[in-house]
């Protein structure tokens, strides 16, 4: 029995061809749209090369331009711990960067290169994302782009936006704010400091440093929303960086302040007024040892106050009552930022 006439079959075949052609055109348009977005973003991405190689650590990471005058936003890490920090632009030009400032609590750093009229992201135009949004991650993944090669581009989605502190301490990070958890594999060497954008190339986040779950050894792929960083970036751009307490501070000192002796901590010899507060010894049985402080740790902050020298550290302890909690932010092994909380018995 004949179910369809020849004209109806021809019409069905024609409709099928039309649908197939439309789908092909849509796919082609999507590919062209992605290509246009990627091409527009690539000139704003930079490759960073600095310290690390001699210690067996990766000596590269990523960053992106945030002003026409050559300001670069990246993550704060051991890679920046050098006087020969090199920034390579998308067109292959190389510059020695100046570290303008850093905010270790947010794990960000601001660099400056002697370049003008460079393509850049406008922080004021950064957008928020929600779960399910498609995203692109631009970074110097595995250091494969050394000259004018394009940065690596990963495609994925935002799995969830959540507080990093909500992860019950499984991830050791000084940053405690909101993050985008991604299904793209951004937690690999060189990716940190890269840019997260939406499908149209609008800036949304800064790719975070490698974080491994201490409970099950899984890695977290995440980015920090730009809105969480804007205030600190503005301060760094304006030269407003965290400072030590002034010696003429009018705040009253407690009757029984904390001391290094009570904590069981000895610093390196204070030979200069600017000697950094490196830990020389942590005595067994004392509160600092029980909290996990180690020899050679560099103390950066005491209760959110920057301590740039041994003198600053001792001065700051004079304002902390021995019955209060002491919160130290330290740098360990020139690569890890850790927060240590100490209470005297």
pLDDT at 101: 84
pLDDT reading at 15 higher than 90: no
Which percentage of the chain shows pLDDT scores above 90?
53
Across the chain, what does the average pLDDT equal? 84
CATH, range 44-237: 2.40.10.120
Long-range contacts of 287-295 (CB under 8 A, 24+ apart): 287/262, 287/263, 287/342, 287/343, 287/344, 287/345, 288/263, 288/264, 288/342, 289/264, 291/340, 291/341, 291/342, 292/338, 292/340, 293/265, 293/328, 293/330, 293/340, 293/342, 294/332
CATH, range 260-342: 2.30.42.10
**This prediction's pTM:** 0.72
pLDDT at 23: 59
- Rounded Cα distance, 105 and 271, in Å: 28
Residues in a beta bridge with 103: 108
pLDDT at 28: 52
Long-range contacts of 290-297 (CB under 8 A, 24+ apart): 291/340, 291/341, 291/342, 292/338, 292/340, 293/265, 293/328, 293/330, 293/340, 293/342, 294/332, 296/332, 296/333, 297/330, 297/331, 297/332
pLDDT reading at 11 higher than 80: no
pLDDT reading at 13 higher than 70: no
Burial 169-178 (b: 16+ CB within 10 A, else e): eebebbbeeb
In this structure, of 39-48, 277-286, 295-304, the range with the lowest mean pLDDT score is: 295-304
pLDDT interval class at 6 (50, 70, 90):
very low
- Burial of 221: CB neighbours in 10 Å, binned 0-12, 13-18, 19+: buried
pLDDT at 195: 97
pLDDT reading at 73 higher than 90: yes
- What is the number of residues in the chain? 345
Q: What is the pLDDT of residues 150-167, one digit of tens each?
A: 999 999 999 999 887 544
- Rounded Cα distance, 193 and 313, in Å: 30
Residues 6+ apart with CB under 8 A from 32: none
Question: Averaged over 174-193, what is the pLDDT?
Answer: 88
pLDDT reading at 63 higher than 90: yes
CA angle 99, 102, 103 (to 5 degrees): 175
- Rounded Cα distance, 343 and 258, in Å: 10
SS3 220: strand
- The domain locations on the chain are 44-237, 260-342
Question: Averaged over 58-72, what is the pLDDT?
Answer: 96
Q: What is the pLDDT of residues 95-110, one digit of tens each?
A: 999 988 888 778 899 9
pLDDT reading at 300 higher than 90: no
């Amino acid at each position: 029995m004949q179910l369809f006439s020849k004209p109806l079959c021809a019409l069905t075949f024609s409709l099928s061809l039309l649908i197939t052609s439309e789908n092909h055109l849509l796919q082609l348009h999507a590919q062209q749209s992605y290509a246009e977005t990627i091409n527009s973003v690539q000139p704003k991405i930079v490759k960073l090369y600095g310290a690390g190689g001699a210690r067996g650590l990766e000596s590269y990471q990523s960053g992106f331009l945030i002003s026409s005058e050559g300001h670069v936003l990246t993550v704060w890490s051991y890679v920046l711990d050098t006087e020969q920090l090199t920034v390579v632009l998308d067109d292959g030009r190389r510059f020695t960067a100046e570290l303008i400032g850093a905010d270790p609590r947010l794990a960000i750093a601001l660099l400056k290169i002697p370049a003008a009229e460079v393509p850049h992201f406008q922080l004021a135009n950064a957008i928020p994302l929600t779960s399910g949004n498609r995203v692109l991650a631009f970074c110097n993944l595995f250091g494969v782009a050394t000259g004018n090669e394009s940065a690596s581009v990963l495609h994925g989605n935002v799995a969830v936006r959540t507080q990093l502190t909500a992860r019950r301490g499984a991830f050791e990070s000084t940053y405690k704010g909101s993050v985008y958890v991604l299904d793209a594999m951004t937690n690999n060497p060189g990716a940190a400091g890269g840019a997260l954008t939406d499908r149209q190339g609008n800036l949304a986040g800064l790719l975070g440093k490698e974080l491994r779950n201490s409970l099950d050894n899984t890695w977290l792929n995440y980015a920090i929303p730009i809105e969480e960083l804007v205030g600190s970036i503005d301060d760094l751009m304006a030269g407003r960086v965290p400072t030590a307490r002034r010696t003429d501070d009018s705040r009253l000192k407690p009757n029984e302040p904390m001391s290094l002796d009570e904590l069981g901590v000895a610093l390196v010899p204070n030979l200069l007024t600017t000697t950094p507060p490196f830990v020389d010894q942590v005595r067994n049985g004392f509160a600092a040892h029980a909290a996990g402080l180690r020899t050679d740790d560099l103390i950066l902050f005491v209760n959110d106050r920057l301590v740039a020298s041994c003198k600053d550290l001792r001065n700051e302890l004079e304002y902390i009552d021995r019955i209060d909690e002491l919160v130290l932010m330290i740098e360990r092994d020139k690569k890890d930022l850790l927060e240590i909380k100490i209470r005297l018995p």
